[in-house]
């Protein structure tokens, strides 16, 4: 893997890019304040001891969310990653997700983060694919369960709906349904590739790297494909307890993340319907996948106001200002810390892993295949 010039796939990720999502997010909040602000609105917000307690709970829940991710990475690497090493990867991963569009996220470069922390390219690919599989499995299992408990008519009847009443043409239901279908197909492909036919997954990888923009890395993709096959065999041989622990860490992480909004609302208001608020956030996350802005900036704040505003017990005339302020607080707790931490860690990590080790780069894990070998691989699967 090249480490200099354009060969470094992280060369276009710059810490100063944190400015863009911050500007977009704050601009969206400012615009919503301008439209919704009413003098005296914030008199409805009460500060007391419970405010401090629930704000602390929200922060702890975000820590739990990261700890879940870290433990999962340690499990999937069979303990080769220490807590500190896994923490470094997760923070860099979240930073990349925060400065790229939600549809892209940090997964596209996560393989490199894991690889540079000591795993081979193929094994790094398998580990990242496994984390993606577990994340999507959480959605696939939780979404139908919450629909059954909460009921679609309650879950999707919000201010973003095309009409005030629930119907099968409801905008939210369509978006959530399409998002769920995409995730279901993705999980099916990953499951088939990781546990049934890893050679088929390798073929898909080779086919993708036939594209003109990616063809220059086709030899590395071919070598990585071989390692994916090898590591997929290892995953298939893992006991059920291994996957239960990995999914348990995933469940712990995502569930902690979704309870953050509940804690923030409880910091200022006595609220009920906690399960519905939790379910709404699941739908919010699906919708944020289509956001073209870095980390969903602007879009996330807007969706928060529409999805969760109805749970805030204030006068309708004051609701707009209050919910916008809470949306900003939600992002301050759940999003902006990753921008700050990443901006501090990323330059040093790049220096340690690329610049200082440039002369020590080895091709041991990515031996290039010949054109003849690559063509042979294509013949086998076409």
Residue 151 lies in a domain: yes
Asked if residue 169 belongs to a domain, the reply is yes
Which of the four pLDDT bands, split at 50, 70 and 90, describes residue 316? Answer: confident
Q: Is 26 part of any domain?
A: no
Q: Which residues contact 118 (CB under 8 A, 6 or more apart)?
A: 80, 81, 85
Give the chain's length. 382
Contact 205, 228 (CB under 8 A): yes
The total domain count for the chain is 1
Q: For residue 91, what are the contacts with CB-CB under 8 A and spacing of at least 6?
A: 66, 338, 341, 342, 345
Cα dist. 251→41, 238, 316 in Å?
37, 19, 36
pLDDT range class, residue 382, cuts 50, 70, 90: very low
Kindly indicate the confidence band of residue 363, based on its pLDDT and cuts at 50, 70 and 90.
very low
3-state SS, the chain, equals CCCCHHHCCCCCCCHHHHHHHHHHHHHHHHHHHHHHCCCCHHHHCCCCHHHHHHHHHHHHHHHHHHHHHHHHHHHHCCCCCCHHHHHHHHHHHHHHHHCCECCCCCHHHHHHHHHHCCCCHHHHHHHHHHHHHHHHHHHHHHHHHHHHHHCHHHHCCCCCCCCCCCCCCCHHHHHHHHHHHHHHHHHHHHHHHHHHCHHHHHHHHHHHCCCCCCHHHHHHHHHHHHHHHHHHHHHHCCCHHHHHHHHHHHHHHHHHHHHHHHHHHHCCCCCCCHHHHHHHHHHHHHHHCCCCCECCCCHHHHHHHHHHHHHCCCCHHHHHHHHHHHHHHHHHHHCHHHHHHHHHHHHHHHHHHHHCCHHHCCCCCCCCCCHHHHHHHHHHHC
18 within domain boundaries: no
Q: What tens digit of pLDDT does each residue of 224-262 get?
A: 666 667 667 778 788 899 999 999 999 999 999 999 999
Q: Answer yes or no: is 31 within a domain.
A: no
pLDDT of residue 60: 97
* 215 belongs to a structural domain: yes
- Does the pLDDT of residue 294 top 60, yes or no? yes
Q: How confident is the model at residue 310 (pLDDT cuts 50, 70, 90)?
A: confident
Q: Please tell me the predicted confidence (pLDDT) of residue 17.
A: 61
The answer to whether 349 and 117 have CB atoms below 8 angstroms apart is: no
Span 328-333, mean pLDDT?
87
Cβ proximity of 307 and 283 under 8 Å:
yes
**Residue/partner pairs of 92-95 with CB below 8 Å, 24 or more apart:** 92/342, 92/345, 92/346, 92/349, 94/66, 94/338, 94/341, 94/342, 95/338, 95/339, 95/341, 95/342, 95/343, 95/345, 95/346
Residue 262: per-residue pLDDT = 92
| 283 vs 117, residue with greater confidence | 117
Distances (CA, A) of 145 to 110, 206, 249, 279, 377: 30, 37, 19, 10, 42
* Average confidence score pLDDT of the chain: 76
How many CB atoms are located within 10 Å of the residue 67 CB?
Answer: 18
Print the domain residue range for 377: 48-297+330-381
pLDDT in tens, 47-76: 778 889 999 999 999 999 999 999 999 999
Q: What is the pLDDT of residues 164-209, one digit of tens each?
A: 444 544 566 777 777 788 888 888 877 877 788 777 777 776 776 6
Confidence at residue 315, expressed as pLDDT on a 0 to 100 scale: 74
Q: Is the pTM of this model over 0.85?
A: no
pLDDT given for residue 217 in this prediction = 61
Q: Do 166 and 272 meet the contact criterion of CB atoms below 8 Å apart?
A: no
The reply to whether 226 falls in a domain is yes
Indicate whether 330 pLDDT > 50. yes
Q: What is the per-residue pLDDT for 214?
A: 56
CA atoms of 39 and 7, how far apart (whole Å): 55
Q: Is residue 314 part of a domain?
A: no
Helix axes 240-266, 49-76, angle to 10 degrees: 160
- In this predicted model, what pLDDT tens digit does every residue of 84-103 receive, in sequence order? 999 999 999 888 888 776 55
> Residue 362: pLDDT band by 50, 70, 90 thresholds?
very low
């Amino acid at each position: 893997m090249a480490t200099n010039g354009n060969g470094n796939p992280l060369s276009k990720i710059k810490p100063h890019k944190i400015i863009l999502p911050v500007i977009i997010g704050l601009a969206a909040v400012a615009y919503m304040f301008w439209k919704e602000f009413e003098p005296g609105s914030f008199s409805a917000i009460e500060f007391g001891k419970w405010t401090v307690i629930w704000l602390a709970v929200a922060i702890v829940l975000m820590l739990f969310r990261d700890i879940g991710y870290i433990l999962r990475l340690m499990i999937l690497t069979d303990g080769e990653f220490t807590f500190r090493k896994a923490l470094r990867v997760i923070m860099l991963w979240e930073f990349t997700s925060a400065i790229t569009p939600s549809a892209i996220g940090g997964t596209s470069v996560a393989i490199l983060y894991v690889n540079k922390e000591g795993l081979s390219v193929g094994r790094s690919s398998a580990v990242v694919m496994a984390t993606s599989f577990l994340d999507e499995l959480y959605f696939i299992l939780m979404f139908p369960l919450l629909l059954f408990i909460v009921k679609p008519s309650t879950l999707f009847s919000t201010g973003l709906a095309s009409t005030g009443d629930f119907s099968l043409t409801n905008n939210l239901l369509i978006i959530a349904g399409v998002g769920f279908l995409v995730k279901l197909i993705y999980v099916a492909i990953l499951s088939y590739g990781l546990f049934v036919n890893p050679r088929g997954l390798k073929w898909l990888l080779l086919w993708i790297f036939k594209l003109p923009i990616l063809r220059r890395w086709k030899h590395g993709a071919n070598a990585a494909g071989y390692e994916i096959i090898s590591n997929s065999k290892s995953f298939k041989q893992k006991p059920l307890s291994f996957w239960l622990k990995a999914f348990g860490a995933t469940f712990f992480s995502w569930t902690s993340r979704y309870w953050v909004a509940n804690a923030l609302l409880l910091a200022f208001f006595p609220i009920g319907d906690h399960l519905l608020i939790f379910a709404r956030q699941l739908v919010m996350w699906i919708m944020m996948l289509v956001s073209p802005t870095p980390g969903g900036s602007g879009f996330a704040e807007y969706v928060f106001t529409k999805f969760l505003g109805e749970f805030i017990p204030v006068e309708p005339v004051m609701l707009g200002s209050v919910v916008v302020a809470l949306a900003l607080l939600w992002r301050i707790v759940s999003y902006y810390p990753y921008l700050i931490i990443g901006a501090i860690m990323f330059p040093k990590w790049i220096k340690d892993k690329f610049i200082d080790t440039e002369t020590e780069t080895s091709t041991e894990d990515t031996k290039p295949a010949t054109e003849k070998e690559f063509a042979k691989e294509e013949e086998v699967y076409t």
